[in-house]
Structure 1
Amino acid sequence: MVAVLAMKGAVMMCSYVINTIAFKDKLKKGISQADIIEESKKMGFDVIEVRSEFLNGRPEELERIKKVSERKNIGVFYSVNDVLYKNGQLNSKLPHYVKQMHQMGASNIKLNLGKCGYLNSAGLVRLLDGTFSLKIENNQTLAESDLVATQRFFRLIEGAAIPHISYCFDIANWSWLSATANEAAVALANVTDYVHLKNEMLIDQRRQVTDSLEKGDLDWRSLIKLLPMARYLGFEYASTPEVIAEDLEKVKSFLSSK
């Protein structure tokens, strides 16, 4: 199901994405991410987001992800556990990640920002050939996801008129950073077209991501309202298929009631 997201007078189509961390227990046992595509489709998701750390590194797996996703009519995103900028320069592994992305038939690739010393617009233009989009996401590390640095990066992108780059706003990860999720949402709303939904709370005196959107300290409904340009809503937390399916229905119900 693709929802119609209506906010501030605008109407926008919204697709639902499941990040494969949702199946963490299965993946830790060695099940391929290709094997959870059909289940993700049955749960009601439009896109599956493959994680780099759960790939076995063989081209055969990437090709199988592409074949199964095409057969099941589900989109593919690629989440890379790495940074766009390393030591102030574009990550030398980017061509490898882009190749993997194309092999699995993904439409975008997502990384954390890292430390951007200078923009390197020529390198980004060569990388972004128009066949895919690049998403920048906040992780839980200040050095790689600082709000001020992220704002500066997108100002530079706008000034250089580089297309196909936008932001993936993880609502929970801000709890580990210097800005609050609400502050960051206001600052980055105009560049955010993808939202990672999850919740967090203190458990045994340690802040942890929970196994349900409804369990935690964050008000995901109010945060969605602050991000009116979001076209994709992703579910990125380990849980059971039953809980995630319930959370998906709650999000759909919330959006349909607006």
Structure 2
Amino acid sequence: MNQPTVAISLGAFGADLVRAQGQASFIPLLVSAGVKRIELREELFSPDVAHQDLPGLAHAIQVQGLECLYSAPIELWLEGDTKPNPELQPTLDRASACGAVWLKVSLGHFNERCDLAALADRLAPYAVHLLVENDQTEHGGRIEPFVQFFAAITALQMPIGMTFDIGNWRWHDQLASDAARALGRYVEYLHCKAITRNAAGKLIAVPPTPADLQDWRQLMQHMPTGVPRAIEYPLQGDDLLEVTREQVALLANLGSSSTPHSTETETLSHV
């Protein structure tokens, strides 16, 4: 039986390191660790995405046999606007240039006045599949707007999926279990990170404990079988390949009893 797809959001290696070394430099490590999908992070391109050789990056990913997902720090719906974010089109262009099959963005300020027909028109020319994610903002990190959004697009048979970020529900005291029951059927990509508070009281992402893994397995019972899942917690250590390989195996199986060492990582509002 084939194991589920495991991805790595490249921010897991630390924002500063990824910006310094470049996202392409992590491709060999991902392949060696058994990763099937790379999640590129637009905000981690240095100096910025405009100066990147995106077709070259697409080729580097393709020759290694990795699937590609492009993550962009934009909201699908801006506050006060009924039309989709005008940044969506150039972001779709960049995702396409990278050879991405999926584009992940935050939901943003969705309400019943948002023009879904305009969104369908915006997406129509592209082969890239759109995924919307719960983020850490008050408007984009609560369950109800996602229930409304997916009810609306389902009625219109619009092929948009959800990125379900397990940890982000904590920012506004939403229960991931409630979210999974309400939204699990729409989930096409699962962002995995455990959350704790650091000494300053700030919520931070950490690797999962065995109890976290068990909780995640319960959440996944509400989602499609074998849903692709991504590491979005810190991957750090003297032997980065071994650390990465161990964590990939944990997510692929979600049955290991080993407990990784917890370390902090940078978290951004859209992750």
1:155-210 C-alpha deviation (Å, 9 max, x unpaired): 110122212x0111111111112421111111101111211111111221524334
Opposite residue 15 of structure 1, the aligned amino acid is T
By how many angstroms is 1:217 displaced? 6.1
1:207-218 correspondence runs (5 A): 207-214=202-209
1:120-165 C-alpha deviation (Å, 9 max, x unpaired): 12222222226121101111112123211111011110122212x0
1:34-74 C-alpha deviation (Å, 9 max, x unpaired): 11112111111001000110122236431221010011111
Residue 159 of structure 1: which of 155, 171, 184 is its match?
155
2:260 counterpart residue number: none
- 1:65 equivalent to 2:57? Answer yes
Number of equivalences: 244
CA contact (8 A) 1:201 1:217 kept: no
2:93 counterpart residue number: 99
By how many angstroms is 1:234 displaced? 0.8
Q: Following the alignment from structure 1 to structure 2, what is the Cα–Cα distance between the partners of residues 253 and 216?
A: 14
Opposite residue 116 of structure 2, the aligned amino acid is S
Of 81-90 and 100-109, the range deviating more from structure 2: 81-90
1:11-160 correspondence runs (5 A): 14-24=4-14, 25-28=16-19, 30-55=20-45, 56-58=48-50, 60-87=52-79, 88-89=81-82, 90-117=84-111, 118-129=113-124, 131-160=127-156
Q: Give me the TM-score of the superposition, normalised by structure 1.
A: 0.86
CA contact (8 A) 1:200 1:207 kept: no
CA contact (8 A) 1:199 1:215 kept: no
Instruction: Flag structure 1 segments of 5+ consecutive residues without an equivalent.
Output: 4-13
- 1:252 equivalent to 2:252? Answer yes
Q: RMSD of the TM alignment (CA)?
A: 2.3
1:81-106 C-alpha deviation (Å, 9 max, x unpaired): 11000023310101110000011000
2:243 counterpart residue number: 243
CA contact (8 A) 2:92 2:128 kept: no
Q: Compare the two structures and name the one with the higher strand fraction.
A: 1
Of 239-248 and 151-160, the range deviating more from structure 2: 239-248
Q: Give me the TM-score of the superposition, normalised by structure 2.
A: 0.82
2:196 counterpart residue number: 201
Opposite residue 158 of structure 1, the aligned amino acid is T
CA 215–59 in structure 1, closer or farther in 2 if over 3 Å, else same: farther
Q: Following the alignment from structure 2 to structure 1, what is the Cα–Cα distance between the partners of residues 148 and 226?
A: 21
Q: Following the alignment from structure 2 to structure 1, what is the Cα–Cα distance between the partners of residues 23 and 2?
A: 23
1:180 counterpart residue number: 175
CA contact (8 A) 1:135 1:167 kept: yes
CA contact (8 A) 1:76 1:105 kept: yes
CA 238–61 in structure 1, closer or farther in 2 if over 3 Å, else same: farther
SS of alignment partner, residue 82 of structure 1: strand
Q: Following the alignment from structure 1 to structure 2, what is the Cα–Cα distance between the partners of residues 148 and 196?
A: 19
